[in-house]
Amino acid sequence: MAVVAFAARQAPVEEAVSLPLGMAQLSPAGLSEQWLLRFCGDQHWALIAKALGQREAVFHAEDGRPVYAAFCTTSLRFYPLSRPLLGQDAQILSRLFAVSDTRTGSTHQIMVGGERIAKVSMISTFVSHDASRSNTRIFRNTVLGDMQIMPAGPELMMLDGETRETARSLRKAAQVGVQTYYCERPTPSLDFNAVGLLYFPTFSRIAEAAAYARSERPEPVLGRDVVYLGNINQGDRVYVADHGTMSVMTRGDGSLIAAVQTLSAPV
C-alpha cells in the first residue's frame, strides 16, 4: 500500500513539545543548527509513525524490506533574539502534511517567551537500500500502511517546487563542482546514522566547516536550505565547490549529493 493523503482529515497530525535550552541545544550564536535539525528530524519521523498508527518510527515495505523516510530538502531560518537563550524554555510545534503521493512535509515553529526564534521545513520520501546495501544505490519505495494527513499549504508546496527545480537544473548542468575548495572524509561514528546513511545534518555541518576553512570568521548563519541528491558510503570523501550562489557537494566520482544555499549576516 502507498502513502495516501486524505484532504477530508480536519485536524493536522502534530506534536507540541516544551523543553529547557541548555548546552546541548545552543551554540555561541544562539540555537544550535545541528541540534535543531536532529530534533526536528526525529519529530518528522515520529509524526509519520503517528500518522501510520505506529508507536515506533521503524518502517517497512509490503515485502518486509526496511524503508527509511529520507529527506529531499530541509529549510531553516533563524530570527533575531531579544534575550539570552540559556536556561529558557522553548516551545516547539511540529506538524505533518502531505506534499504529494510520495512525499511528506513537516513544519516546526520554535518559540521562546512568545517570540519565534526559528522555523524548520522538511520534505521526505520513502527509500530503501537494494541488495548491495550501497548508499549510492538507494531507490524509492512505499511504506506498508496508509497515512491520512492534511494537504500541505502554499509554503511547503513552494519549497517542494523549488527543490525539484534545483535538482533538475543541477542534473542538466554540463559541469558541476569543478572548483573544489573543501574536502573531507566523514567519520562513521559521528556522521552516519543507524542505518548507515550519511546523516542529513552532516551536510549542513560540512557546509559550515567549508565556510570556516575559507574564513576564520565566517558570517553568522541566518538560514540554510539543503537539497539532498545522493549519499556516500563510509570511507568516501565529500567535495564542496561553488555553483553560482550555491555550494554543491559531490562524491569522488563527481556525482552530486547535495546543493546548499546559506543565508548569512555581515560580520
Residue 117 scores a pLDDT above 70: yes
Percent of the chain with pLDDT over 90: 83
Give the homologous superfamily in CATH for domain 13-264. Answer: Hotdog Thioesterase (3.10.129.10)
The pLDDT of residue 174 is 58
Cα 97 from Cα 150, distance rounded (Å): 5
State the pTM of this model: 0.93
Q: Among the listed ranges 85-89, 141-145, 222-226, 228-232, which one has the minimum average pLDDT value?
A: 141-145
Q: What is the pLDDT of residues 157-169, one digit of tens each?
A: 999 999 999 999 9
- Band of pLDDT at residue 244, cut at 50, 70 and 90: confident
Neighbouring residues of 94: CB distance < 8 A, sequence distance ≥ 6 = 14, 15, 16, 17, 40, 43, 44, 47, 106, 107, 108
